[in-house]
């Protein structure tokens, strides 16, 4: 009996020693990753070029093609095992001449307000439209008012983001339907145009664009749709309360063209032990056309590229094949993400893990995961490794739009979750520019992503 007790003690002691030794090795590797990112990072330098030398990168534009060429060149210079372009047809929409709008309180008495066309909108007739306006708090209000109150008017959707929600993406999700579907729904009641309060928690003069859909409306039924800045929305609402008979003028010259060819940019480090198991990190290379897309999603692009560069810098050789994917057309079609998943399925590629960064370049807090309970339990066992870097947020939930099409019963999907409080100050607006990026925060995000990829590569998907 005594001998059995000794054997059991030795076994447990060895297991404890082995676990502690492994945890120490992981801790050393994470420290090396963070040190390299902060002392010898390249993400900020890359983003400087992408934002300031190329600029806005809306799908189908010349700048989008320049970004593809830049991404391919930079990945090749990293010395990856493979770099290639994946063709994808994308929509092409152009804004045209800068939009113009004013509020008319009486003939000849006007107040200019900032607007921008929503992505995919039809233009106004030449010279614009000037019509009475009706304010609603959401799509459901359209049914309450009915055709008699809406026909011939411009509908003003003025539901704000819910400011008491700490997760600002939840606040965004609570009102973005009026931007996406507002025009399609208002047109059914005879509206001639739509103005939508910008998806922004801050009061400022920047209108925020974003994609919208006409659903199954015919070309003749489509009406122009624009976003108005939050200050403009508050002003318009106040003036409507004082005088419900005011009119709103809007002039837009946007246009939709035939689809054009573009590309996803892909680079790979081939796995040393399991080359047919694929792990991907990515962000979307396209951006809206008002700013230069530094937060959305230039940050995610360069952080994803940095993951593979950091592995090479610290001398880590992945067991599994790790790809960086710079997706095209997330903003107004998701064509790149869908194409990547379609090709992966046709080739029967075994994707086991995918991580996306598409929530800005702010201070990283953690990750959200779309996975089974076993894999999430494994993630929680790594929390102590991240604590020295103030990474604490690990939840089950969404991952990322571009990696979503890869979803199946086995794959682990994850999304980097930076602090979200300032994200919607810049999202889809003219002020989403490089000067809004903090170098250290961007580098911390890249190191945090690299650390998670390292751990999943080391221990595998359960």
426 to each of 89, 106, 314, 403, 438, how far by Cα in Å? 28, 34, 34, 23, 14
Residue with the two structure tokens 């929503």 = 118
For residues 316 and 314, give the distance between their C-alpha atoms in angstroms, rounded to a whole number. 6
For residues 46 and 82, give the distance between their C-alpha atoms in angstroms, rounded to a whole number. 20
Q: Is 331 a catalytic residue?
A: no
Task: For residue 34, report the phi and psi dihedrals to the nearest 5 degrees.
Answer: -65, -45
Please name every residue paired with 350 in a beta bridge, in sequence order, or none if there are none: 277
Which residues, including other chains, have CB under 8 Å from residue 205's CB and lie 6 or more apart?
114, 229, 231, 232
Residue with the two structure tokens 């480090």 = 269
For residues 258 and 254, give the distance between their C-alpha atoms in angstroms, rounded to a whole number. 14
Query: Do 119 and 209 form a contact (C-beta atoms < 8 A)?
Result: yes
Given 268, 330, 331, 356, the catalytic residue:
330
Q: Which of 326, 293, 306, 289 is nearest to 434 (CA)?
A: 293
Task: For residue 248, report the phi and psi dihedrals to the nearest 5 degrees.
Answer: -125, 130
For residues 454 and 75, give the distance between their C-alpha atoms in angstroms, rounded to a whole number. 20
What residue spans of 285-355 are helical by DSSP H? Answer: 299-314, 335-346
For residues 19 and 417, give the distance between their C-alpha atoms in angstroms, rounded to a whole number. 29
Extract the tokens encoding 154: 């411009």
Catalytic positions are 330
């Amino acid at each position: 009996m005594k001998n059995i007790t000794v054997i059991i003690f030795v076994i447990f002691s060895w297991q404890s020693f082995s676990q502690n030794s492994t945890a120490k090795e992981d801790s050393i590797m994470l420290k090396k990753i963070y040190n390299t990112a902060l002392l010898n990072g390249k993400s900020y330098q890359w983003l400087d070029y992408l934002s300031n030398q190329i600029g806005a990168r809306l799908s189908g534009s010349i700048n989008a093609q320049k970004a593809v060429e830049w991404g391919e060149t930079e990945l090749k210079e990293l010395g990856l095992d493979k770099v290639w372009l994946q063709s994808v047809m994308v929509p092409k929409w152009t804004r045209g001449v800068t939009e113009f709008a004013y509020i008319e309180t009486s003939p000849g008495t006007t107040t200019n307000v900032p607007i921008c066309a929503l992505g995919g909108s039809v233009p106004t007739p030449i010279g614009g439209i000037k019509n009475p306006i009706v304010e609603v708090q959401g799509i459901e209000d359209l049914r309450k008012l009915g055709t008699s109150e809406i026909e011939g008017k411009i509908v003003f959707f003025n539901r704000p983001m819910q400011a008491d929600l700490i997760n600002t993406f939840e606040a965004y999700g609570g009102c973005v339907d009026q931007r996406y579907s507002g025009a399609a729904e208002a047109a059914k009641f005879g509206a001639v145009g739509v103005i939508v309060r910008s998806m922004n928690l801050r009061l400022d003069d920047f209108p925020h664009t974003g994609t919208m859909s006409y659903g199954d409306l015919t070309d003749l039924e489509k009406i122009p749709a624009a976003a108005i800045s939050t200050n403009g929305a508050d002003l318009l609402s106040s003036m409507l309360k004082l005088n419900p008979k005011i009119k709103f003028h809007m002039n837009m010259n946007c246009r939709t063209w035939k689809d054009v060819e573009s590309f996803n940019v892909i680079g790979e480090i081939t796995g040393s032990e399991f080359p047919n198991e694929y792990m991907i990190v990515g962000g979307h290379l396209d951006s809206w056309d008002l700013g230069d897309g530094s937060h959305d999603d230039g940050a995610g692009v360069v952080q994803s590229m940095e993951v593979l560069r950091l592995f090479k810098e610290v001398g880590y050789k992945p067991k599994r094949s790790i790809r960086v994917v710079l997706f095209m057309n997330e903003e107004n079609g998701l064509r790149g993400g869908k194409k990547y998943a379609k090709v992966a399925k046709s080739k029967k590629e075994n994707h086991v893990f995918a991580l996306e960064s598409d929530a800005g370049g702010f201070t990283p807090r953690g990750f959200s995961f779309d996975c089974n309970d076993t894999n999430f339990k494994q993630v929680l066992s790594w929390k102590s490794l991240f604590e020295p870097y103030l990474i604490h947020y690990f939840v089950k939930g969404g991952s990322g739009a571009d990696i979503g099409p890869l979803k199946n019963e086995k794959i682990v999907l994850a999304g980097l979750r930076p602090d979200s409080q300032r994200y919607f100050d810049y999202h889809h607006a003219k002020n989403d520019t490089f000067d809004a990026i903090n170098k250290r925060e961007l580098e911390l995000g890249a190191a945090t992503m690299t650390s998670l990829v390292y751990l999943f590569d080391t221990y595998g998907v359960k």
